[in-house]
Amino acid sequence: MKVSQAVIFCLDYHKSNSRKNTVRAYEAILLKLCEQCGDKHLSELNSEEIFSFLNQLTQGRKQQTKRSRYSLLSAFFNFVRINIDQSFQNPCDSPMMKKLFRAKPFTSWEILEKEVVDEVIFRTTKTRNRLMLELMALGGMRIGEALKLTPNDINDRKLIIRDPKSGKDSEIVFIPQKVADRLKEYVREKAIESYQRIFPICYEAARAVVKKAGKMVGVRLNPLDLRRFAATYASRCGVPVEIISKVILRHANLSITQRYLGKVSDTEAMKWIDNLYS
């Protein structure tokens, strides 16, 4: 079978069984593979050729991106071996490629204390900026999700996320009542139309808002720090990890959520042990 035929077979399978984001990821790499090797028979592919293809595809990219594209291509070849030709050898299985495209070692993040986040929000006086910070720190929203919000997406304490990262049609974010009230009041005061964005600024401007807010209290801050805080604070308050994962962070699996929950310091560990047995 030709590579182009195998690609069509694989993409048809994922279009019927996988999420939209997964399909788009496979299309991005497999269509490029077709451009370079589409007319070749699968048996003609070798590790050197695939290594060269991956190098061209990932040149100048971060290690995480390189690993992601390597994994997608390797998964495609495994799909071929399982569903098309059981004698097919995955050209991505060479020790050299496994080493060069291995995942970057996971680094545990330092998590902000509640008092610091409270101070960041309190000292942000501009209503628009404060609401954005609260949606990320108290609702666990991604910065891109906050920027896409319109009045149509507000349903009391529930916010509807359209076209979320997960590939679903929509997701629900739950926010505190006080934040919901301030958000609705802001929409009324600014006379924002139902279809208009509540925060009509670009991604980089929003990141600058977060960075500036952190500087006011002497901490380096980015939007993901606030989302991690939402998860870790909930965990420290006894919220089950399943709720943190599925409701606050809206992750596909718990292993991703565990990365957000920050490392526990010795002081914090002793405090929890004392609370447990006091």
Q: Which bin fits 84, alpha (ψ -120 to 50), beta or left (φ > 0)?
A: alpha
* Whether residue 221 has pLDDT greater than 80: yes
Sorting pLDDT into bands at 50, 70 and 90, what band is 252? confident
pLDDT of amino acid 41:
93
pLDDT of amino acid 62:
83
CATH superfamily, region 114-277? Intergrase catalytic core (1.10.443.10)
Decide if domain 3-100 falls under CATH 1.10.150: yes
Q: Identify the residue with better confidence: 208 or 57.
A: 208
Phi, psi of 208 (to 5 degrees): -65, -35
Sorting pLDDT into bands at 50, 70 and 90, what band is 96? confident
* Whether residue 262 has pLDDT greater than 80: no
Sorting pLDDT into bands at 50, 70 and 90, what band is 232? confident
pLDDT of amino acid 99:
84
Chain-wide mean pLDDT for the chain?
89
For the chain, domain boundaries = 3-100, 114-277
d(CA 54, CA 56): 5
Percent of the chain past pLDDT 70, that is, above it, reads 92
Measured between alpha carbons, how far is residue 112 from residues 36, 57, 102, 115 in Å?
Answer: 48, 37, 30, 8
pLDDT of amino acid 238:
83
